[in-house]
Structure 1
Amino acid sequence: MYIPYYHADVFTEVPFSGNGLSIFLPPVELPADRMLRITQEMKQFESIFVRPRPEGTLVDARVFTVEEELSFAGHPSIGAAAQLHALNRAGETEAGWIFIFPQKSLPIATRKTDYGYSCTMNQGEAEFGEPLPEAAGKPVLEALQIDPKDRDEKYPLQVVSTGLPYLLVPLKRNFTTANIGAEGLSEMLEAVGAKFIGLVDVDGRSMRTGDNLGKVEDIATGSLAGPVGAYLVRHGVAAPGEEIGLVQGVHLGRESRLYVTVSSDVIVRGGVVLLAEGRLLCP
């Protein structure tokens, strides 16, 4: 069986920048363990598997890291939507899609540009946990070996979600060198209602995240951008309706630009550059 495969750079307008993505269009539904193994073979932070329905705009989608399936993810969604626009709506300047994940549906709009595609996804309303008391956040900070003096005390540790719950940790110093993972972090995050950590430089409008063991850092994370934008609005750093520019991956040599607008819903926008295509020989 041949599976069409595509490669894109997401949250960028420049080739070989932003966050790389593997996109697969399997002709039949694949078992989860097969999709996980394919993702592990490609060694991208995430891969996405999409199957457009006959209706044309509805797309069944599954996204995997090298460790597990996620309920949804941002950069794979807009990257795959741009690729579907190129394949199925090439004669149109604009197109719309609804990506249907196992636990969430995600409306996405795509528009042709000189560099590729500009894509916008509606992540819905943000959900906020209560600001964490100091005692509850202390084990996480200690596990990440974050000096309390590096914490930006003007803003709280808080769990925010638009589909994936992140514990947001605002830092004012040593932002790019802080750890993003540690042994046992997953269990600590689960105890406060989060799945991943999100380090935030509020003044610099920058963010970082990765796997919970800290082995791999993500370069551009749409599912984190929405919560960070909502957090900035909630705490008066940005205004409702303002387009908030966020930066990620600069210190890794893969600058990514993510744009968030928060009103009643959280809207995340970014560029996509299509790079390559081929066939996966999948026995």
Structure 2
Amino acid sequence: MKYHYALLDVFTETPFAGNPLAVFSDAGELDGAVMQRIANELNLSETVFITGAPEPGVFSIRIFTPRSEIPFAGHPTIGTAHWLRASERLGAGHRLVLREGIGDVVIGFEAQSTWLTTAQPLRIDPASFDAVTAAALLGLAEVEVIAAPVVASCGLDYWLIELGASEALARARLDVAAHDRLFEPWLEGALYLFCRQQGGARARMFAPRAGIPEDPATGSAAAPLAGWLAHREAAPGAYRYRIEQGVEMGRPSLIEARVERGTEGIERIEVGGRAVIVGGGWLAL
């Protein structure tokens, strides 16, 4: 039987930039083991399988990296929503909810951009290692890591490491052996390096244990980063950030984030961006 998929570039409107994504549109008959083998075969950061539509405007999806299933991810969510809209699968009103492992992710459309609202609130915890260890892990001087790392999450944990300049960000090289020694075997230890710039940040993401040596655009990391940035602002309010990623890989990406910070903390985080359908294909199983 043939299973068809669409190929998209996400967090860009330019083909061959952004983060590639495969979306299998009718995958309800596939089991998880087969989905995992397909994701490993395509070897993209993530592959999405639409497994059903339990009610109008609601689609159940599963997301796989080359090595494991994950409950939530940003560029698969944005890309799948873009494909559903472009394929006229939404019906009247363009209501869309993607039912993921993390829960229901509400989608909104504004002109050519697609926005998701995180299904889980921001969580921030201290990291188990300091800036000195982070610098050694990345082949950088100690002074180039300018703050203690933190673990931040809106459903997936990322170790946020702030660098002082884009030059340091470009020079960072992950020591994979040291990474494996630092993190427990059950931890993926996904690192999100960033440096602040006007209007937001520039970032890189490394997750070797997930089969992702480097990721061109990571919406599930941009969400807690935006929350962390808003948390550090001087006063409650509505904040908007632009996060550039993928520059060092030759796949420039732009992730937008909106954060509502109330007097009691972060109340809402949205991540948005554009996508483009660049092709498709099928697998015979």
The reply to whether TM is greater than 0.5 is yes
Deviation of residue 138 (structure 1)? 4.1
Cα–Cα, structure 1 residues 163 and 120, in superposed 2: closer, same or farther, change >3 Å? Answer: same
Q: TM-score, normalised by structure 2?
A: 0.85
Indicate if the aligned counterparts of 2:61 and 2:100 stay in contact, CA closer than 8 A: yes
**Alpha carbons 1:11, 1:18 under 8 Å: kept:** yes
The question of 1:254 aligning with 2:251 is answered: yes
Distance 1:67 1:228, change over 3 A: same
> What are the ranges of 5 or more consecutive residues in structure 2 without an aligned counterpart?
261-266
Identity of aligned residues (%): 28
Q: How far apart are the structure 2 equivalents of 1:83 and 1:215?
A: 23
C-alpha displacement of 1:51: 2.5
Paired residue secondary structure (2:55): coil
User: Is the 8 Å Cα contact of residues 180 and 217 (structure 1) preserved in structure 2?
Assistant: no
Check conservation: 2:6, 2:24, Cα contact below 8 A. Answer: yes
Aligned residues of 2:49 and 2:63 also touching (Cα < 8 A): yes
Residue in 1 that maps onto 2:193? 199
Deviation at 1:87, TM superposition (A): 2.0
Q: 1:2 to 1:176 in 2, by over 3 A?
A: same
User: What is the CA distance between 1:5 and its match in structure 2?
Assistant: 0.6
Partner of 2:99: 100
Aligned position for 2:218: 221
Shift of 1:71: 1.7
Give the direction of change, closer, same or farther, for the CA distance of 1:182–1:18 in structure 2 (3 Å limit).
same
2:192–2:204 Cα contact (<8 Å) kept: yes
Q: Alpha-carbon deviation of 1:29?
A: 3.5
Aligned equivalents of 2:154 and 2:83: distance in 1? 24
Q: What is the CA distance between 1:86 and its match in structure 2? A: 1.9
Residue of structure 2 in register with 1:31 after alignment: 31
SS across alignment from 1:276:
strand
Instruction: Tell me the equivalent position of 1:128.
Output: 124
Q: What are the within-5 Å matches in structure 2 for residues 110-121 of structure 1?
A: 110-111=109-110, 113=111, 117-121=112-116
- Output the CA distance in 1 between the equivalents of 2:273 and 2:71: 20
Counterpart residue number, 1:278 = 281
Q: Which moved more, 1:24-33 or 1:64-73?
A: 24-33
Aligned residues of 1:238 and 1:244 also touching (Cα < 8 A): no
The code of the aligned residue for 1:147 comes to A
Q: 1:253 to 1:103 in 2, by over 3 A?
A: same
- Give the whole-Å Cα distance in 2 for the aligned partners of 1:147 and 1:31: 47
SS of equivalent to 1:79: helix
Amino acid at match of 1:107: V
Q: In 2, distance between residues paired with 1:201 and 1:11?
A: 19
Aligned residues: 273
The match for 2:58 is 58
3-state secondary structure, aligned to 1:72: coil
The Cα shift of 1:250 comes to 1.3
For the 8 Å contact 1:181–1:211, the answer to whether it is kept is: no
Question: Is contact 2:130–2:149 with CA below 8 Å preserved after alignment?
Answer: no
2:263 maps to 1:269: no
> Who is 1:176 aligned against?
170
Using the TM superposition, give the Cα deviation of residue 183 of structure 1 relative to its aligned residue in structure 2, in angstroms: 2.0
Counterpart-to-counterpart distance in 2, 1:212 and 1:110: 33
3-state SS of 1:217 partner? strand
- Show the counterpart of 1:158: 150
Change beyond 3 A, Cα 1:203–1:87 = closer
Cα distance change on mapping 1:187 and 1:64 into 2, 3 Å: farther
